[in-house]
Structure 1
Amino acid sequence: MANLSRRKFLSRVSMTAAASVLLPTVGYSASKLFTQHTNPGSFVIAPTAHGKIKGLRVDGVNCFKGVAYGGTVSGDRRFRRPAPIEAWTGVKDALELGAPTMQPPRRGEPAPAEDCLFLNVWTPANDHKKRPVMVYTHGGGYVNGSGGAAGQDGANLARNFDVVVVETNHRLGLLGFLYLDEIAGEDYTGSGNMGVLDITAALKWVHENIAEFGGDPDNVMIFGESGGGGKTSCLYAMPETAPYFNKASIESGPGVRMLTKDLAAETTERVLKELNITKQNWRKLLDVTPNQLLEIQNKFTFIPPFQENINMPEMIGFGPVVDGVTLPNHPFDPTAPDISKDKPLITGWNEDEYAFFIMTRGEGDLTKISFDDLPAKLEPEFGKDTATIIETYRRSMPDASAPQILMAVKSITLMGLGSVEIAEKKANQKGAPVYLYNFGYKSDMKIPGTDYPMGTPHAMDISFKFNNEVPPKEGDKPFWSLAGNNPDKYIASHKMAELWTNFAKTGVPSAKEVPEWPAYNFKTRPTMRIDTKCEVINDRFSKELDMWRSINKLKTL
């Protein structure tokens, strides 16, 4: 596969940059689900390995917020493993969100801070019942987001499906992924992967403590969307993480390949140059203020959750690193990771991913292009293959307009091809099953400033799988959603949440009034299309995928 040009690459990462900035709050108003309660609740106390914490029970769910799962990661712990948690006496409040990592301020959350290792827990009861545990990793690329974003509030999943939900804040960007292994010595081994090692530390906390929250430490699912899907892809391939989870879901963020050591080292060199620090004096990095580091971080491009090519010279920025130790190999290149061969997996994408990026980039004019315009819109990314791509899609979608073909092409290349590649490589392993999906519920909204349907944009699945698309209760404050206002969204949300929670419980995604979801295989190549009415579609997009394979945009086995 030929390397992307600088212009092509920047066009692509700029979309991820938009997502990283807007994903955490895009679907929701300041009236956050965290505070939408019909009663003031009552306090509940829970023991942990380091001391007792006080949460709040509201509407049948115990919620503990801002729980420390690691010690400081500032000072001499910057770029290193966190300090141990210090035990406490008495009862510590777990009633407010913890600080997210360094990033622009987040609506309704504490000020971002370097010390950010906090998690939130939702459980039906602290009763030692051994419920399945669902540990979610937020989106926002590798530079933005938190476990406190409204659309991923875990109360409805816990209440309606009898599971325990956990979400983390963890280091991101320069603080989470600056590769210092080659210049800083043994104490900094894994520095390029601190962001995902933080999540591993949270999973260890879950293993040691979740029984006190009614969860089963031996039945843990990890899942994540967009950048969270990329991070989940890494966790699925990391030896240190392996003991702490049993199944996974990678959603609209197929992390097939990650940064190589050479590319990560080049990013480090550029950071040092920006700060006028030599490699020999790298320790001066510890004296730079967090805000200065954030300013430096913002000068770099954003790394998408996927990489088409393992040798992309323009891929300079912050994201997980194949360092040969903490992340021994690319998550799904050349094969699915042996270390998770026996762990079931879900992977898939939304049908109209690209609508989100048209919206966030203010490119509504793309919804009005003609077929004469279409080649010029695709050539910067696809070059000499553009004519083949357009011809294939015009044959497979004979009634489609030029904007519809643009949407289909951009959506499948953003998140679809990597998802198919993961499914095929996992299925080829002949171990635990893998399940491929397309989320297809159609919003009744238009892309702002246009008459073009929003469809099923990137990120809209978050509130659906968390069952947060539900009829409002009396006294609840309404919130704006990408899904629009059609009440049939409640049906699709319940079905998606039920599929995910049953997968957490059994390793097989299932739901009432949903057909049996077959594991992906090379005979029928089944995909579950998730909507108000779910259906299994065999060999979906077969002509298009054959074409993508033929031009080497989808790796064949």
Structure 2
Amino acid sequence: MTEEKKAVVSTKSGKLEGVYEDGLHKFRGIPYAEPPVGKLRWLPPQPVKPWDGIRPAKKYGAMAPQIAAAAPRDFPGAPDFGDVPQSEDCLYLNIWTPGLDDGKRPVFFWIHGGGFTIGSGSETFLDKGVLAQRGDIVMVSINYRLGAAGFLNLKEITGGAIPSTGNEGILDQAAALAWVQDNIARFGGNPDNITIAGFSAGGMSVGTLLALPAAKGRFCKAVNRSGAANMVGTPAEALAIAQEFLGIFGLKGNDIDGIRNLSTEKLLDGQTGVGELMRQRGKNPLVFQPIVDGVILPHKPMDAIRQGYARQVTVMAGTSRDELKSSSAGDPSLKNLDDDGLVKRLSASLPDTIIPGLIAAYRKSLTDAGKPAAAADIFSCIDTDALFRIPTLRLIEAQQQHGARAFNYLFTYPSPAMGGILGAMHGLDNPFLFGALDREFTGNGEKQQKLAETIQDSCAAFMHTGNPSCRSAGEWPEYGNTRKTMVFDTDTRIEEDVFGEEREAWDKYTL
């Protein structure tokens, strides 16, 4: 419900008029950089030009061009970005604030997920701003360039004629962060108390920003949700992707005009084509990702973090127990998977030396818990931990080594959808964090509401003080040597070394 209440703010770029809804001032579609179109395509984000008069900020800005998610829109937990158009002119952010005053509230800077190819800061679970109101914080969400527009390195293959490093999407995030630091005080926020946070590729972006010189000093806390600091590419991999991408259109690196003249639709076609080629070859389907180019991103994020680059940042990081169960449930190739097939699939991405130990550990853990332990179940669990949980624990451990405070959680509440077969799937915890429960996907009874409030309160406490302990969650100790972990479920509790037998099986695995 919209109430009659003036919401006009003067920023360094110009005046903005938002709306007052749900007890919050909301500003949507704020440009934080010039539109990256025409000659600015594949360049770092450029400062937004000031405007005259009062600019309306009542509707979301266009989201980055993308192909719809593979899951049908009515599938439980399928992404929903609202009725928002797509355009390469997509560098916008949104703000929810309880007050346009000098309240110096903590700032929550949210980076959406989507495998660096889909997503938007207009995710519908954000819209009401429940977390901002309950936590008395200023909440920000952003768009950034995706896919070939944001993560395609053309510098090498074109001899520098097109200077994109493959990090333009990450630089967009840093530019949005800089805009927020410069202007958020005018929205009741504290520029010296910014928490960057993200889910999935957004969490991986947070891990990258921890090691990005362009973002250093612009935030003091980080929340990695189902994404750590492990998804980056090398220059050699980036060059190979660029060759494949251009080859789809019959282009060479010296055909500069042909490359620049590719339409938005062609960029999306190229993304799809390269992704399919990688899948056919059994390679990482996450084709578009940040690149360790030695300049924009000087080192692998985990290497930089291990060296203490982010020692000043307090971290809260965690995952869901069954991240990939929803994708496994829809994968027909897993239906008849036997142990030989399990070993073969794991060998595509993991060292052969650790695979027998992993299979034995996960089979025992699942069996002891009274859960199905067929080859497909074991594969789903190992795949989840390889991509999400183990990198998250390594990030926490690396921060601790340099004296930084680090907190871990594991979300284990299962979705009631589809008879419960999805478990605590990827993204199920987001509606709990942002107060957007429903009957089918999350359940919306008293227990679920209590869990949502506990997750919101602990996150807000972390933003305010750097410690997620709060009345609803109780004392939340640092991860420490005993690996204390907050287990979020209808019986939320602290446990030490959760699923330790599984974790130990990864000890010889180096990220």
* TM-score, normalization by structure 1: 0.82
Q: What is the match of residue 182 of structure 1?
A: 156
> For 2:494, what is the secondary structure of its paired residue?
strand
Q: What is the match of residue 75 of structure 2?
A: none
Contact 1:237 1:337 in 2 (8 A): no
Q: What is the match of residue 113 of structure 2?
A: 139
> For 2:66, what is the secondary structure of its paired residue?
coil
Q: Does 1:380 align with 2:344?
A: yes
Query: In the TM superposition, what are the counterparts of 1:362-377 in structure 2 within 5 Å?
Result: 363=332, 366=335, 374-376=338-340
Match of 2:361 among 392, 401, 408: 392
Aligned-residue offset at 1:482:
2.3
Aligned-residue offset at 1:374:
4.6
Give the letter for the 1:382 counterpart: L
> For 2:213, what is the secondary structure of its paired residue?
coil
Contact 1:256 1:333 in 2 (8 A): no
Give the letter for the 2:395 counterpart: I
Give the letter for the 2:463 counterpart: A
Q: What is the match of residue 94 of structure 2?
A: 120
Q: Does 1:349 align with 2:349?
A: no
Q: What is the match of residue 433 of structure 1?
A: 405
Q: What is the match of residue 503 of structure 2?
A: 545
Give the letter for the 1:244 counterpart: R
> For 1:243, what is the secondary structure of its paired residue?
coil
Contact 2:97 2:188 in 1 (8 A): yes
Output the CA distance in 1 between the equivalents of 2:15 and 2:214. Answer: 27
Give the letter for the 1:113 counterpart: S
Match of 1:298 among 256, 261, 272: 272
Match of 1:281 among 218, 231, 255: 255
Deviations 1:464-485 (A, max 9, x none): 122333xxxxxxxxx5652134
Output the CA distance in 1 between the equivalents of 2:103 and 2:484. Answer: 35
Instruction: Using the TM superposition, name which of 484-493 and 69-78 deviates more.
Output: 484-493
Q: Does 1:338 align with 2:275?
A: no
CA separation of 1:350 and 1:226: change in aligned 2, threshold 3 A: same
Q: What is the match of residue 416 of structure 2?
A: 444
CA separation of 1:406 and 1:168: change in aligned 2, threshold 3 A: same
Q: Quick one: higher RCO (CA 8 Å, sep 6+), 1 or 2? A: 1
> For 1:197, what is the secondary structure of its paired residue?
helix
CA separation of 1:400 and 1:387: change in aligned 2, threshold 3 A: farther
Give the letter for the 2:364 counterpart: R
Give the letter for the 2:318 counterpart: G
Contact 2:109 2:140 in 1 (8 A): yes
Give the letter for the 1:436 counterpart: N
Output the CA distance in 1 between the equivalents of 2:221 and 2:83. Answer: 30
Output the CA distance in 2 between the equivalents of 1:107 and 1:61. Answer: 20
Match of 2:457 among 489, 498, 505: 498
Output the CA distance in 2 between the equivalents of 1:185 and 1:67. Answer: 35
Match of 1:358 among 328, 331, 334: 328
CA separation of 1:172 and 1:302: change in aligned 2, threshold 3 A: farther
Give the letter for the 1:345 counterpart: V
Output the CA distance in 2 between the equivalents of 1:382 and 1:507. Answer: 38
What percent identity do the matched residue pairs reach?
31
Aligned-residue offset at 1:180:
2.4
Aligned-residue offset at 1:246:
1.0
Output the CA distance in 1 between the equivalents of 2:297 and 2:198. Answer: 18
CA separation of 1:107 and 1:154: change in aligned 2, threshold 3 A: closer
Contact 1:303 1:316 in 2 (8 A): no
Moved over 4 A (4+): 183-190, 312-316, 362-366, 383-387, 403-407
Aligned-residue offset at 1:333:
3.0
Output the CA distance in 2 between the equivalents of 1:344 and 1:316. Answer: 28
Contact 1:171 1:194 in 2 (8 A): yes
Deviations 1:165-204 (A, max 9, x none): 0001110000001112335577865631010100111011
Q: Does 1:322 align with 2:292?
A: yes
Aligned-residue offset at 1:153:
3.2
Match of 1:483 among 421, 442, 454: 442
Q: What is the match of residue 195 of structure 2?
A: 221
> For 1:166, what is the secondary structure of its paired residue?
strand
Instruction: Using the TM superposition, name which of 259-268 and 382-391 deviates more.
Output: 382-391
Q: What is the match of residue 236 of structure 1?
A: 210
Contact 2:125 2:435 in 1 (8 A): no
> For 1:192, what is the secondary structure of its paired residue?
coil
Output the CA distance in 1 between the equivalents of 2:98 and 2:470. Answer: 20
Give the letter for the 2:105 counterpart: R
Contact 2:413 2:423 in 1 (8 A): yes
* TM-score, normalization by structure 2: 0.89
CA separation of 1:244 and 1:110: change in aligned 2, threshold 3 A: same
> For 1:322, what is the secondary structure of its paired residue?
coil
Contact 2:157 2:239 in 1 (8 A): no
Q: Does 1:525 align with 2:487?
A: no
Aligned-residue offset at 1:264:
0.4
CA separation of 1:82 and 1:524: change in aligned 2, threshold 3 A: closer
Q: What is the match of residue 372 of structure 2?
A: 401
Q: What is the match of residue 41 of structure 2?
A: 78
Contact 1:331 1:337 in 2 (8 A): no
Deviations 1:132-158 (A, max 9, x none): 000000011110000001123361111
Q: Does 1:462 align with 2:435?
A: no
Q: Does 1:45 align with 2:8?
A: yes
Q: Does 1:536 align with 2:509?
A: no
Output the CA distance in 1 between the equivalents of 2:111 and 2:307. Answer: 20
Contact 1:374 1:406 in 2 (8 A): no
Give the letter for the 2:394 counterpart: E
Give the letter for the 1:379 counterpart: V
Output the CA distance in 2 between the equivalents of 1:468 and 1:187. Answer: 46
Output the CA distance in 1 between the equivalents of 2:144 and 2:256. Answer: 23
Output the CA distance in 2 between the equivalents of 1:382 and 1:243. Answer: 39
Aligned-residue offset at 1:254:
2.0
> For 2:316, what is the secondary structure of its paired residue?
strand
Aligned-residue offset at 1:362:
5.5
> For 1:402, what is the secondary structure of its paired residue?
coil
Deviations 1:369-406 (A, max 9, x none): 7xxx5525522322455543333233334233225545
Q: Does 1:271 align with 2:230?
A: no
Contact 1:174 1:297 in 2 (8 A): yes
Output the CA distance in 2 between the equivalents of 1:61 and 1:334. Answer: 39
CA separation of 1:526 and 1:179: change in aligned 2, threshold 3 A: same
CA separation of 1:87 and 1:491: change in aligned 2, threshold 3 A: same
Output the CA distance in 1 between the equivalents of 2:214 and 2:45. Answer: 15
CA separation of 1:315 and 1:491: change in aligned 2, threshold 3 A: closer
- Structure 1: tracts of 5 or more residues without a match: 1-36, 305-311, 470-478
